[in-house]
Amino acid sequence: MFKTAMERSRELFGSGWYCAESVLMAVAEHQAMTCECIPKIATGFCSGLARSGGMCGALTGAVLAVSLILGRDEASEPVDDCYRATKEMTDGFIELFGADTCQSLTGCHLGTDEGQVRFRAENMHEQCLNFVAEATRLALTAIVSKRTSRTDQ
């Protein structure tokens, strides 16, 4: 399920877009959502929160995508569906990969010269392609799950 969107996120990542941007763009395209803020809004989240070693950019891109689809338009609206979808997705990512931070997942800190060299030398870009694809799948699965539960009520 969601193979086309997963392939699209991998394609975007392989073409020079970074992790968070790729996931957000692929999910938005799959959901036929357009916004002039995409992919700009995701750029600072790439490479583990701007190379700080923080949360994986693919996962933060997925959080942005879930929020884009399930987030609130009015302050009076509930946050529960968006929060549940985000938790479901992040838990699934950690279950698959054992961590949620860029530094833990890649074993290097991209904010250092040594980390950048190691990332390239060990071709970790290939590993990140899997993070991007799975984050896309997890986001879309969570979105569909919450949208379905809304219509069942």
Summarised one tens digit per residue, pLDDT across range 21-49 is 999 999 999 999 999 999 999 999 999 99
For residue 59, what are the domain limits? 3-152
Per-residue pLDDT for 90 more than 60? yes
For the chain, the domain total comes to: 1
Q: Using CA atoms, how far apart are residues 102 and 81, in angstroms rounded to an integer?
A: 26
Q: Using CA atoms, how far apart are residues 42 and 63, in angstroms rounded to an integer?
A: 10
What confidence score (pLDDT) does residue 152 get?
54
If 0-12 CB within 10 Å is exposed, 13-18 middle and 19+ buried, where does residue 121 land?
Answer: exposed
Would you place residue 1 in the very low, low, confident or very high pLDDT band (cuts 50, 70, 90)?
A: confident
Would you place residue 9 in the very low, low, confident or very high pLDDT band (cuts 50, 70, 90)?
A: very high
Query: Which comes out higher in pLDDT, residue 153 or 101?
Result: 101
* Span of 10-19, 38-47, 87-96, 141-150 with lowest mean pLDDT: 141-150
* Span of 15-24, 42-51, 60-69, 141-150 with lowest mean pLDDT: 141-150
